[in-house]
Structure 1
Amino acid sequence: MAKIAYILLCHKDPDAIIAQAGQLTAAGDCMAIHFDARASDADYAQIRNALKGNQNVIFSKKRIKCGWGEWSLIQATLHALQAAVDQFPRATHFYMLSGDCMAIKTAEYVHSFLDEHDLDYIESHDFFESNWIKTGMKEDRLIYRHYFNERNQPRLFYAAYEVQKRFGLTREVPADLQVMIGSQWWCLRRRTIEMILSFLRNRRDVVRFFSTTWIPDETFFQTLVRHLIPQQEIDNRTLTFLMFSDYGMPVTFYNDHYDLLLGQNYLFARKISPEAHELKDRLGQLYASEGVSFHISDEGRNLYHFLAGRGRVGRRYAQRFWEIGNSLGPERELFLLVCKKWHVAKRLVDQIASETTIPCIEYIYDEQETPLPDLGGIETTLTKRSRHRRAVARMLYDHFQSNKLVLCLDPANLDVIRDFCTDQARTRILEIECAYSDDYLTGHAHRVGLAGQNSSDEAIARLLPTLRNALAYESELIRGIRNDSLFHLRETADRAENEAVIAEFLGVSTDQAKAIMQLEYLFAD
């Protein structure tokens, strides 16, 4: 059975560390702690005194002053690892943690999971080919030597950096290594750790190289594991659930995130707020529990980005630089059918196509599989269509040899709607207002990844009001568009009223409008 040696790097909150160590070792696992030498000696003494009777807890023989982005973090980890390897010969796995991490599954579940999969869990992507680094220096992390801390000594950091750049003082990556990058929160098997420690004893050149790279905790273990372990024995992911905001800051979890965390396909979560005492207590009790079943929905990231993005979507009024002067033409008419229920809009465009000569295209900027004519390749992906939306629309006019065109759009695609409303073409918008039952909203949450198949009824019930408000807000934003040709087709209106709207919107006869609206099940789910 798996026995885990937790490698805990920490620097604050001694009470939380004591509780964390007690909770994780109560189930038979063990822990090696490195407490930052920059931190309070009194706090360190408090931790040691509180845990001195726990035979499953040891401390690094040497404390390192750690700094963000420095080699010191790796050195501290290696000290803790060596202590754990020596002290806990029965440990089968070594799991990297911080003081902000907590288990979101039971020890029973964690051990069973590791027993079933004889793998190393570490995120590792090719340093040069991947897009893992979003901003800041990339290659320069490796080819120049970094002796100073960018946060604490910015002037020295950048002065040394600029001197090396000016005089071309670059260096080569060790020839036999393919540098990888990924999250620093890993879980590795004992034989992998032993191979890494043995490798480092024989390869001081590798230690020298990484000791002056920038942010080596994102590259050191990631590179060595890929170098020493066959690919089929590595699962390229972390078992610690963590998210980042749009600003690159870690997302913090609070008391009301308990159910969400348990539903994620991970073993631990980071970062737990220091003030989330109730969440910490519940997760601590959970780890020691037995017979708990978990319903994995794994919707956490999609749900966070949905909730965090409310009010930030579709706020662009000006044209993108590549679209300036890229007009459809004043002689053309564009009819936009805007509807959240795609099946309703698709039924309506089928009717329009069958009763008129106006070309109709379904959700061209929202759905990859929308049927389209050959437009020379620009139509192949949603990314291309959206980036060159006016060009795509012009090519559709030309393809159908018509000055009229009907397009379906999701109301969330507000930037596209606004963009076409600023064009010289005569743009009309028909907002199809549908009723949204709880069953429909639940299905919508599943379809867009805001809920998983195993999401609890309570979690969905809390989500539904937010979803309903989000849809109402999208409708409000559409009404805010300055367009004199905005029409509304309502599920709650009688047929005669909707027929009049269709006739005016499309500029067709009353008989044609009646034929278009003869579909009895237009709004049916």
Structure 2
Amino acid sequence: MARIAYILLCHKAPDEVIRQAERLTAAGDMVAIHFDARTPRADYEAIRAALDANPSVTFARRRVKCGWGEWSLVAATLQALKAAEEAFPRATHFYMLSGDCMPIKTAEYAHAFLDAEDADYIESFDFFASDWIKTGLKAERLVYRHLFNERRNKRLFYAALQAQKRLGLTRRVPADLQVMIGSQWWCLRRRTVEAVLDFIRARPDVMRFFRTTWIPDETFFQTLVRHLVPADQIRTRTLTFLMFSDYGMPVTFYNDHYDLLLAQDFLFARKISPEAHELKARLGTLYAATGVAFSPSNEGRSLYRFLTGRGREGRRFAPRFWETESSLGRERELMIVTCKKWHVAKRLVDRVHAVTGLPAVAYLFNEEATDLPDLGGIQATLEKRTRHRRALMRMLFDHYGTDRLVICLDPSNIDLMQDFYADRSRTRLLEIQCRFSDDYLAGHAQRVGLAGPRTPPEVLDRLLPTIRHDMVFESDRIRDAEFPGFYRIDEARPPDENADALAGFLSIPPHTAREIAATDYLFDD
């Protein structure tokens, strides 16, 4: 009968880790734990104190400080995998889990499932031929060396990448490997794990290659398993049910998802909400149960797409759709350009896009006619865009396949600026200071409905100082808000001075910023 050693990677909630390990081992399985070295030592010691006496639990010999996209995630997995392979000689399968995973079948069902086929379960698609990577870097993950963390040191990450591109410092993939890609959540047989561990001891060149590959947890095991195991013994799928929203974030499961999860043809699911206490209790009880019959219908993903699609149109389930995962995302950068002269801001962001390639959207919360992609109806009206502004921004980031986006806002939209600054994303603001002639202010008064073609000159004379004062007030209000990452360029300044502000705002080299700032028609009326 199958005996499973779970490779548990976790970085928080020590009490939940303890309960998860106790639940899994109570059903006769084993657990090897790697607890992120970035977490407090006291949390790790609490886990050790609770589980050290359990013979079915072992710990990675060395704790690794983990970072998303880094080799450290693979290193942590290998530490736990080696510990499990040594401590549990009776384990027949090794199954990767995170602290956010929960079983959605019984242990009895899981063992029978693994006994039914002599196979490894791991997503393993051709890196170059498949469309597994939807957005962002692709070949660059492999052919360049990545020494910095993109989330913690974004500027250094991209500076190093651009330097390698300019200097032609590409590298070759190890000649005998076909690089594969897929989910990091796998279940491998014992002989496969032993073959992988033997391979990495014999091939330091492969280890050097993957240590500086970007997001190697999606390629390392996927490539080595395909290299070492006959294709007919690999099932190119994961046994852990997970979904991503249409704007790129993992879907989180809550108490009312119990029946949906049990209906999926998988053994575990992630991510379970930390607040879903009832769901966790029910799934924990389920894992230890016997004699439970399951009839997987596997409709989870299609049902999710249907319900969220209706939510976008405001027909049903809309509040839950927009409230869930409402943050733009900690790893994303939103750069806001604000200017009362909309044509000046539009010229600037058009020039930024032309020179840097950064996607830019002008005045999407101010102009109904702003050119936007079809995002399922959320972009249809200004009222919808404003009401669901964070969801709209998430979908735009995903549509353009970027973590950096430039938008324009009118200076009166300080409420939107404050909302975006309150998000976990990295937000910066650039104010464009312009000079306003009386003729321009008169035209502005007509555009916003304060005056018409037949308004008497004496009425305009009284109105224009008020309009000018309002523009000064909006600018002062932005300054008084003391937004971090605030920059300003001014029509009256020379291009070199404006270039300094642009370089900081856009995180671009000074010479590139000068090229943008030197646009000779930028401030023309």
TM-score grouping bracket, smaller chain normalisation: 0.5 to 0.7
- Percent sequence identity over aligned pairs: 73
SS, match of residue 132 in structure 2: coil
Deviation at 1:311, TM superposition (A): 4.1
Deviation at 1:29, TM superposition (A): 0.4
Taking the aligned partners of 1:147 and 1:313, their CA distance within structure 2 comes to 44
Matching residue's letter, 2:22: G
The 5 A counterparts of 1:247-266 are 247-266=247-266
Specify every segment of 5 or more residues in structure 1 that has no aligned partner in the other structure, as ranges.
Answer: 316-413, 419-525
Taking the aligned partners of 1:159 and 1:45, their CA distance within structure 2 comes to 39
Taking the aligned partners of 2:314 and 2:213, their CA distance within structure 1 comes to 40
- In structure 2, the residue matched to 1:273 is 273
Taking the aligned partners of 2:52 and 2:3, their CA distance within structure 1 comes to 21
- In structure 2, the residue matched to 1:304 is 304
Taking the aligned partners of 1:214 and 1:311, their CA distance within structure 2 comes to 35
Taking the aligned partners of 2:40 and 2:11, their CA distance within structure 1 comes to 8
SS, match of residue 307 in structure 1: helix
- In structure 2, the residue matched to 1:395 is none
Taking the aligned partners of 2:309 and 2:19, their CA distance within structure 1 comes to 35
Deviation at 1:314, TM superposition (A): 11
Taking the aligned partners of 1:288 and 1:90, their CA distance within structure 2 comes to 20
Taking the aligned partners of 1:91 and 1:305, their CA distance within structure 2 comes to 38
Where do 4+ consecutive residues of structure 1 move more than 3 Å?
A: none
- In structure 1, the residue matched to 2:175 is 175
Does residue 1:188 correspond to 2:188, yes or no?
Answer: yes
Does residue 1:69 correspond to 2:84, yes or no?
Answer: no
| Structure index of larger Rg | 1
- In structure 2, the residue matched to 1:241 is 241
- In structure 1, the residue matched to 2:60 is 60
- In structure 2, the residue matched to 1:78 is 78
Deviation at 1:308, TM superposition (A): 1.1
- In structure 2, the residue matched to 1:135 is 135
In structure 2, relative to structure 1, the CA distance for the partners of 1:133 and 1:291 (3 Å cut) is same
Matching residue's letter, 1:255: N
SS, match of residue 5 in structure 1: strand
Taking the aligned partners of 1:313 and 1:130, their CA distance within structure 2 comes to 32
Aligned-residue RMSD, C-alpha: 1.5
Taking the aligned partners of 1:177 and 1:91, their CA distance within structure 2 comes to 28
Taking the aligned partners of 2:108 and 2:19, their CA distance within structure 1 comes to 19
Does residue 1:47 correspond to 2:57, yes or no?
Answer: no
- In structure 2, the residue matched to 1:162 is 162
Taking the aligned partners of 2:281 and 2:50, their CA distance within structure 1 comes to 18
Matching residue's letter, 2:208: R
The 5 A counterparts of 1:56-455 are 56-312=56-312
- In structure 1, the residue matched to 2:360 is none
Q: CA-to-partner distance for each residue in 1:56-82, whole Å, 9 max, x for gaps? A: 001101000000000000011001010
Deviation at 1:295, TM superposition (A): 1.5
- In structure 2, the residue matched to 1:38 is 38
Specify every segment of 5 or more residues in structure 2 that has no aligned partner in the other structure, as ranges.
Answer: 316-375, 381-525
Taking the aligned partners of 1:307 and 1:41, their CA distance within structure 2 comes to 43
Taking the aligned partners of 2:63 and 2:17, their CA distance within structure 1 comes to 16
Q: CA-to-partner distance for each residue in 1:364-410, whole Å, 9 max, x for gaps? A: xxxxxxxxxxxxxxxxxxxxxxxxxxxxxxxxxxxxxxxxxxxxxxx
Q: CA-to-partner distance for each residue in 1:217-273, whole Å, 9 max, x for gaps? A: 000000000000000000000000000001110000000000000000000000000
Q: CA-to-partner distance for each residue in 1:422-449, whole Å, 9 max, x for gaps? A: xxxxxxxxxxxxxxxxxxxxxxxxxxxx
Matching residue's letter, 1:193: V
Report the TM-score when normalising by structure 2: 0.60
Matching residue's letter, 1:214: W
- In structure 1, the residue matched to 2:9 is 9
Matching residue's letter, 1:83: A
Report the TM-score when normalising by structure 1: 0.60
SS, match of residue 7 in structure 1: strand
Taking the aligned partners of 1:311 and 1:193, their CA distance within structure 2 comes to 44
Deviation at 1:155, TM superposition (A): 1.1
Matching residue's letter, 2:49: N
Deviation at 1:310, TM superposition (A): 1.1
Q: CA-to-partner distance for each residue in 1:324-367, whole Å, 9 max, x for gaps? A: xxxxxxxxxxxxxxxxxxxxxxxxxxxxxxxxxxxxxxxxxxxx
SS, match of residue 8 in structure 2: strand
- In structure 2, the residue matched to 1:467 is none
Deviation at 1:159, TM superposition (A): 1.0
Deviation at 1:156, TM superposition (A): 1.0
Deviation at 1:312, TM superposition (A): 2.8
Give the number of aligned pairs: 318
Deviation at 1:40, TM superposition (A): 1.1
Q: CA-to-partner distance for each residue in 1:101-137, whole Å, 9 max, x for gaps? A: 0110000000000001110000010000000000001
Taking the aligned partners of 2:134 and 2:82, their CA distance within structure 1 comes to 33
Deviation at 1:13, TM superposition (A): 0.5
Taking the aligned partners of 2:70 and 2:112, their CA distance within structure 1 comes to 35
Matching residue's letter, 2:242: L
Does residue 1:22 correspond to 2:13, yes or no?
Answer: no
Q: CA-to-partner distance for each residue in 1:131-171, whole Å, 9 max, x for gaps? A: 00000010000000000000001111111111100100000
SS, match of residue 199 in structure 2: helix
SS, match of residue 196 in structure 1: helix
Deviation at 1:313, TM superposition (A): 5.4
Taking the aligned partners of 2:194 and 2:52, their CA distance within structure 1 comes to 27
SS, match of residue 31 in structure 1: strand
Matching residue's letter, 1:7: I
Matching residue's letter, 2:146: H
